[in-house]
Each structure stands twice: as C-alpha cells, then as structure tokens.
Structure 1
Amino acid sequence: MKKVLGMLVLAAVASTTCAAGMALAQDGKKINLRVADSFPTGHFIPKYSTLPWMEQVTKRTNGQVTFEYFPAQQLGKAPDLLNLTQSGVADIGYVGMSYVSDKMPLSAVAQLPGSFTTACQGTMAYWKLAKGETMNKNEFGANKVKPLFAIVLEPYQIYTANKEVRTTDDVKGLKLRSTGGAMDIFTRKIGAIPVRMAAPEVRESLSRGTLDGLIFPNESVLSYDLQSFVKFGTKGGNFGSFVASYVVGDAVWKKLPKNIQTIMLEEGEKATAHICKEIDTNIEKAQQQLAAAGVKYHTMTPAERKPFEDVSDEVAKEWADGLDKRGKPGSQVLKGFRAALAEYSKN
C-alpha cells in the first residue's frame, strides 16, 4: 500500500511539474524532463543511444531542454515503465516490448527468430514500421505514447551453464530465460522450457540454478555481469531478438513547442541509426571478452541451424495467425516487416 501511495504522489508531482514546465516552455524558458529505464550503469543501450540523445537535445535547444535520468529501475521495474510513462511518473520511458506484449503485441514481429542477421537490418526495418500508421494506431497511439527512438538487438544466442548446445536435441528440457511472446513459442517448439523474466532478474536466477541458460544478446551477457555463470555459447544462431523503445507520453509531447519536437525526432533518428551500428560492430569484441572469461563457443553449421530455422518459420506463421484471430493485423505487419527487411538488407 505504501508503494502504491508513493507512486501516486510521485505521479501527481510529476504531472504538476510537467504542466508548469510546459507552460514555461511557451516563453522559451526551461523544460526539464524525467527519463527512466531499467539498464544498469554502463549498459550499452543508454551508452550508445539514451545518453547521447539527451546530450544532443540539450545542446541543440541551447540548454532550454534538460533531463533528469533515472537508470537501473530507480523509478520502477522494467515491465512497469510503460505505465509509469503513461501516468506521468516519467516523461520519457524505456519500453521493452516483450514486457508489455499484452499491450503492444505487434512489435514482437522484430523479435521473431530467424528474421534478420544484423542489428541494423532489424532496427531500421522495425523503425520504419514503428513510424507508420498501422503501428501508431494499434501500438503506440493506442497506448498514448510516441516513439522517439528504438533499438532491435542482434540475433540472440543460447548461453548455458553446464551443457554445450549444437542441435535441438541439446536444448530439450533446459530451462532457458525467455523474453516472452514469440520467444516463448520458439523455446517450447525446440523442446526447452521458457522462463519469462526481465533481464535485471537473470543474474540471480542463474546464480541460484533456477535457470539452465538463457537466450540472450552477446553484449548483454557482459552488461549484466553473467559471464561467471555461463560456460557455453553459440555463434551463428538466430534465436530471436528484442525491441527496446524510448517513448514520450502523449500529454507531455503535445505541450512541447514544435521546434523542440522536431529536434527530439531528428536526434531520435540519429540515435536509432547509431546504436545499431555500435551493436553490430561490438559483437565480435563481446564474444572475445566472454571467451577470455571462460565461455566456450560453438559455431553452428548450416546443418545444425536447419532444424532451428524450420521451427522459426512455424513460429512466425503461428504468431501472425494468432494475432489475426484476435483482430490484430499480425499478417499485415509481418508482411510489412519482411518487405522492410528486404529493403534494408540491400543497403
């Protein structure tokens, strides 16, 4: 009860502060916005996108816009940050799409296994959809938020504590961390047991042995300091991904001056393009660091990947059909995403 009351008070204070700030903004005075996410200090997502984005917005507005940054779940748990942004506790919040799959199910299109081979292919294809009418109507607009920038991570690999993974037979019965949604479907279809949890909770679960491994991006293994708990990793697998988006609440956005909106969106475009390049560039470096820490890698052969790829095709169809039956444009979004991937894969 105390926690709920505290959040309500904080929301009221944030709302009042924001309203006052927006009124002052019309006179060219200071605007201070609260930005919240769940990433630990030093994590590559805020390092390569959030922090530079805030810095550039402040610079380009000549200091009119400043930010208070609350990392590491200081304002709330990762699954709650969408709600906290909608309610005004945060003005801008990180949304991990898997954590809100009940509210934003279409975004999982960029998390389907086997979809793309680089972070930039996935990121730019998803970003094109995110700015379109269909996603605005069904995802962002429907949840009263506007996307500022987004990141789709590189294809996830399988990291395990005690068993090397080469084939689908090797994962049968393993308890693997999943982001939910399509990754849950994929994990079950390859014979493993999906354990849905937010990334900040993974370390404790691995240390206690309640997880046998995880489907995870390479650099995040380092960011969350998991290298001492995993002994094996795959290379060349394509086991899904994760969409991270930073959004601003509609109430805040509508009160911002047009010139500031333009600057935020322009810098969001730059942040989106920049971070995916950093991710792709750092994959090999992250794997080298993990190998030095004792992780043994297996590079999967085409024959070993084939059964996983067959399952990936089944998952995509099942995901789209399931949304269609719920009255959501699953097949339409899947088609659009694949078309965007084809476009960006040529670049």
Structure 2
Amino acid sequence: MNTRIPSVARAVAGAVFLLGALGAQAQDKPVELKFAHWLPAMHPLAKTGFEPWAQSVEAASKGSIKIAFFPAQQLGKAADHYDMARDGIADVAWINPGYQAGRFPMIAAGELPFLIAKPGPGSAALDHWYRSYAAKEMSDVKVCFVHVHVGTIHSKTPITDPAQLKGMKIRSANGTVAQTMTLLGATNVQVSAPESRDALEKGVADAITFPWNSIVSFGIDKAVKYHTDMRLYASDFAWVMNKDWYNKLAAGQKKVMDDHCNNDWAAKVGAAWGDDEDAGQQKLEKMAGHTIVKITPAQLDGWKKATEPVYTQWTVGADKVGVNGKQALDELQRELATRKAAN
C-alpha cells in the first residue's frame, strides 16, 4: 500500500488553497474611498499630506483602493466632518476636533498654549499619546492618526502683550484657544477657516489665530498686516474613518489601511505640512505692508504666565471624563520632551 498518496494529495490541496488565497488578495474587489476635507484643493496640506498619502495607499493596494477627494466643504461644513465620517457621508474625513469645543476633551491637550514648538515631532508625540484615548473618545469612527500645526496671532494692529487682547474680537483656531482668549478678556468669533477672511474684512473680527502660510493660502494676508512672532498654540487634526467602510474591506486592503494609519504617517504629515506652514513667516516678512512683531523673552514669559489657568481648565475637564488629568498631561509633556518637540 502506497502511504505517500494521501500526504501528496494534502500537499497539492494546500498549495491550491494558498494560490487561491494569494490570487484573491491580488484581485481584491476595487473600492472607492471618499476623502472629505474643507481646505482649498490647492492648499499645501493637500499637496504635502493628502495626495502623497492617497498615492501610497493606491500603490500599496495595487490599485484596488481608489481615492476620490472632496475638498472645500463639498460634502459638508468644516465642523461636521467627524459626523460625516461616522455616518458614511465620507469614508475618511480630515477633522479639527477643536471646532466642536468640549466634545473631545482629551485630544484638546494638544491645543494648550505654548505646549508644542515643532509640528513634526509634536504630531508624532501627540499621536502616540492619544492612541490610548482615541478608541473611547472617538468611538464612532476608526481613528487613522492625528497631527498638528503650530500658529500665532495675526492682527490689524501690532500685539506684544496679552493685556492688549482685552476687548478685542478674535477668531480662535479651536476650543482651547477660545478659552485662552476669553481668559485674556477677548471676545471669540466662531467661524471656520474658510470663513475667516470674510469675518476680518467685515470687521466681525479684529485678529485671528492661524498658522503662518495659511494666512497667505486663504487670502487672509489681505485683511491682517501684523504677525506676532511666537509659538502661541497648536491645532489638533485627525484623519477618521467610517467603520463600516473599513470592515467591508478585504484582509489585504485592511492591512494597507492599517499601514497608512500609524505613527510614522502622523510624523510625516505633521512635518511636511508644519514645515510648509512655518515657512510662511519668511514669506510674510518679505511682503510689502506686513510686519513681523518681535517678542522679547520677558514678554514671552508674561504670555506664558497669563495663560497658565488654561492648563488647569484642561486638567479639570480630563478628570470629569474619568482620566487623571495631571498624570495624562505629565505623560504628554514627557513624550514631547523625548521627541524634542516641547515649546
């Protein structure tokens, strides 16, 4: 009796199964990913972040994941993009959590004044720290990664001292910056980035907190002429994914998405966009009619001291959602220091 036949048959069957599995993976059913954001299609982040990421996803999936962009609030208002991803209006959406103040208290730590100095390593630090909170705080969606930009205050008159903000109308970048402005006696103007220039030109706002180069790309350089030279705040951003869309992907496609939703991409996007934004300072410095307002070390210390209560407010907010706020903030500050991203 030839006992080799069953083992050979099993080997052949196994090989056929493996080839079939590999063939299925190589021929994953094509899917479209609707990527929604609210920036102009030619914004620097679109060119340094969105498009390179999309090209990498398409290449890694051998073309089975095709990405269609919906920029400039085509699918909904800027503040609605989280819910758009949750509800499947978009498959992936780029969001500013701070546009819905109080809804996402943990990630708001990244917005604290004078906390983050460098957007690349700062993005990597915040992304690494936030992953332990993301599943609970943004449970409606699958968080891909988070990143930041760093900005300052741009105004119609020069600003060097926090006391000057009292009575001013300021368009704040996010909820934490709004808290900061309220603390300093300013009135907050609640408009999204695409609506900011109009608010300034109509006198609805006197100043804006914004990153450097976006002042130019949004045309806001036509409305403000003074730019205070300090790292006042950061804005947090997250790439969030519709869970149902992700769950329907083939195994190989899920791996592609997982490989593009990690800390490396957070650092890469944060650095590419952040460095581009920071380069806008030199661009504005060379533009006629614009002034970079210098801040002395003593003046900077005054700003930091005046904004300290915002840290306490964040800690109390974290405590309210069952997190030890002081401990969590200490962990974030250590992560920033480790990556040499602290302000």
Asked if TM exceeds 0.5, the reply is yes
Q: What is the aligned partner in structure 1 of residue 220 from structure 2?
A: 226
> Which SS does the other structure have where 1:324 is aligned?
helix
Query: Given the alignment, which residue of 152, 173, 177 partners 2:148?
Result: 152
Structure 1 Cα separation of the partners of residues 247 and 153 of structure 2: 42
Task: Check the 8 A contact 1:25/1:256 in 2, yes or no.
Answer: no
Q: What is the aligned partner in structure 1 of residue 201 from structure 2?
A: 207
Amino acid at match of 1:39: L
1:320 matched to 2:315: yes
Between 94-103 and 297-306, the greater mean CA deviation after superposition: 94-103
CA RMSD of aligned residues (A): 2.2
Structure 1 residues 42, 146: closer, same or farther in 2, change over 3 A? same
Structure 1 residues 253, 274: closer, same or farther in 2, change over 3 A? same
Task: Check the 8 A contact 2:120/2:272 in 1, yes or no.
Answer: no
**CA deviation profile, 1:6-57 (whole Å, cap 9, x unmatched):** xxxxxxxxxxxxxxxxxx9996121111111101121122221111111111
Structure 2 Cα separation of the partners of residues 70 and 346 of structure 1: 32
Structure 2 Cα separation of the partners of residues 88 and 279 of structure 1: 27
**CA deviation profile, 1:82-110 (whole Å, cap 9, x unmatched):** 11111111111111111233432211100
Amino acid at match of 2:331: G
1:149 Cα deviation (Å)? 2.9
Q: What is the aligned partner in structure 1 of residue 170 from structure 2?
A: 176
Query: Given the alignment, which residue of 180, 189, 194 partners 2:188?
Result: 194
1:167 Cα deviation (Å)? 1.1
Task: Check the 8 A contact 2:183/2:307 in 1, yes or no.
Answer: no
Amino acid at match of 1:147: V
Structure 1 residues 318, 36: closer, same or farther in 2, change over 3 A? same
Task: Check the 8 A contact 1:39/1:73 in 2, yes or no.
Answer: yes
Structure 1 Cα separation of the partners of residues 65 and 186 of structure 2: 48
Between 186-195 and 273-282, the greater mean CA deviation after superposition: 273-282
Q: What is the aligned partner in structure 1 of residue 258 from structure 2?
A: 265
1:224 Cα deviation (Å)? 0.8
Task: Check the 8 A contact 1:25/1:31 in 2, yes or no.
Answer: no
Structure 1 residues 91, 334: closer, same or farther in 2, change over 3 A? same
Q: Figure out how many residues of one structure are paired with residues of the other and give that number.
A: 317
Structure 2 Cα separation of the partners of residues 316 and 122 of structure 1: 18
1:146 Cα deviation (Å)? 1.3
Task: Show the 5 A alignment for 1:282-321.
Answer: 282-283=276-277, 285-293=279-287, 294-321=289-316
| Higher-Rg member (1/2) | 2
Amino acid at match of 1:177: R
Q: What is the aligned partner in structure 1 of residue 243 from structure 2?
A: 250
1:44 matched to 2:37: no
**CA deviation profile, 1:191-232 (whole Å, cap 9, x unmatched):** 222222211110110110111011111121112111111110
Q: What is the aligned partner in structure 2 of residue 64 from structure 1?
A: 64
Q: What is the aligned partner in structure 2 of residue 76 from structure 1?
A: 76
> Which SS does the other structure have where 1:153 is aligned?
strand
Structure 1 residues 187, 246: closer, same or farther in 2, change over 3 A? same
Q: What is the aligned partner in structure 2 of residue 103 from structure 1?
A: 103
Query: Given the alignment, which residue of 269, 272, 278 partners 1:278?
Result: 272
Structure 2 Cα separation of the partners of residues 324 and 149 of structure 1: 24
Between 203-212 and 273-282, the greater mean CA deviation after superposition: 273-282
Output the TM-score relative to the length of structure 1: 0.85
Structure 1 residues 101, 256: closer, same or farther in 2, change over 3 A? farther
Structure 1 Cα separation of the partners of residues 174 and 277 of structure 2: 23
Query: Given the alignment, which residue of 310, 334, 340 partners 2:329?
Result: 334
Amino acid at match of 1:296: T
Amino acid at match of 1:311: A
**Percent identity between the two aligned chains:** 26
Structure 2 Cα separation of the partners of residues 177 and 346 of structure 1: 26
